[in-house]
Amino acid sequence: MTETKPFNSTEYMNHISLDCVIFGFNNNELKVLLLHLKYSKEYALPGGFLKYDETLEQAAQRIVKERTGLDKLFLKQFKVFSDPDRSKSNKAIFDADMAGIKPDKSFFDKRFISVGFYALVDFRKVKPTPDLFSDHCDWVSLNTDVSMLLDHKLIIENAISTLRLQLSQQPIGLKLLPRKFTMPELQTLYETILGRDLDRRNFQRKMLNYNILDKLKERKTGGAHKSPYLYSFNMERYQKALEDGLSGIW
């Protein structure tokens, strides 16, 4: 699916688009996978349109696979963006034009409402792949302020708020971390999403009390200072625990 087919607007439904906020966690930072548009020099969310025989969820999986190479990812709808003016002055068209792609104006000029999805992925497994309109595809830290297409900055902010609210209801840690991880890494992930510091000792106690982690014999070596233990999620217990929601608000 790395083949780059020309864009054919007749395959897609009018008026409906998708934007995917793909979260990854690396170097103790929460990052989002963004496309850098060839000519307008802005960043844009990976997005796309709905085929006639797809659900939105299937379309989102397809779009995310094209940008990451990954299958069957954790994806959630979080909001529809429907401001009538949101897709005006769509620089993506301009970009397509400049790229010599001959966009179908009667398709792109229409009003689009966009369904926002967020995805949680294991950073290391992703092969960032640009699309027809972009020259590269990068992980961008949430602290970095870059110029973005249309309302994409708003969409990312909404995704983060949702992530924060759903931290206790969705398997966020499981999806964002590699299989083996350390307690400090898990804590930093939580701190990044919540936007505030947590007490190291209380965090560990609470996490362990959930009884969803397996402490491994191994330690993570190589880093400076004392080697932390590695943990992995106990899938069964984690899944079961999420059904009620991990009690408490962090």
Partner DNA sequence: ATAATAATGTGTCGCAATGACACTAGGTGT
Partner DNA sequence: ACACCTAGTGTCATTGCGACACATTATTAT
Q: Is 33 exposed, middle or buried (0-12, 13-18, 19+ CB in 10 A)?
A: buried
Give the one entry of DNA, a second copy, none that residue 113 binds, where binding means its C-beta sits below a cut-off of 5 to 8 angstroms depending on kind: a second copy
Alpha carbon distance, N-terminus to C-terminus of the chain: 40
Q: Is 110 in the site for DNA (CB under 7 A)?
A: no
Q: Is 226 in the site for DNA (CB under 7 A)?
A: yes
Of the residues 113, 132, 154, 242, which one makes contact with a second copy according to CB under 8 A: 113
- 3-class secondary structure, 35: strand
Q: Which is nearer to a second copy, 85 or 145 (CB)?
A: 85
Instruction: Please say whether the dihedral angle defined by the alpha carbons of residues 23, 127, 75 and 57, taken in this order, is positive or negative.
Output: positive
Give the one entry of a second copy, DNA, none that residue 111 binds, where binding means its C-beta sits below a cut-off of 5 to 8 angstroms depending on kind: a second copy
Residue with tokens 């301009």: 94
Stretch that binds DNA, among 114-122, 130-138, 167-175, 199-207 (CB under 7 A): 199-207
Q: Is 228 in the site for DNA (CB under 7 A)?
A: yes
Q: Is 79 in the site for a second copy (CB under 8 A)?
A: yes
The most distant pair of C-alpha atoms in the chain lies apart, rounded to whole Å, by 61
Q: Is 209 in the site for DNA (CB under 7 A)?
A: yes
Cα 107 to Cα 7, 52, 151, distances in angstroms: 11, 15, 19
Q: Is 243 in the site for a second copy (CB under 8 A)?
A: no
Q: Is 209 in the site for a second copy (CB under 8 A)?
A: no
Cα 131 to Cα 14, 95, 154, distances in angstroms: 20, 12, 22
Shortest Å, Cβ 193 to DNA: 16
Helical (H) or strand (E) element with 182: strand 181-182
Q: Which residues bind a second copy (CB under 8 A)?
A: 13-16, 50, 52-57, 77, 79-80, 82-84, 111, 113, 115, 165, 169, 244-245, 247-249
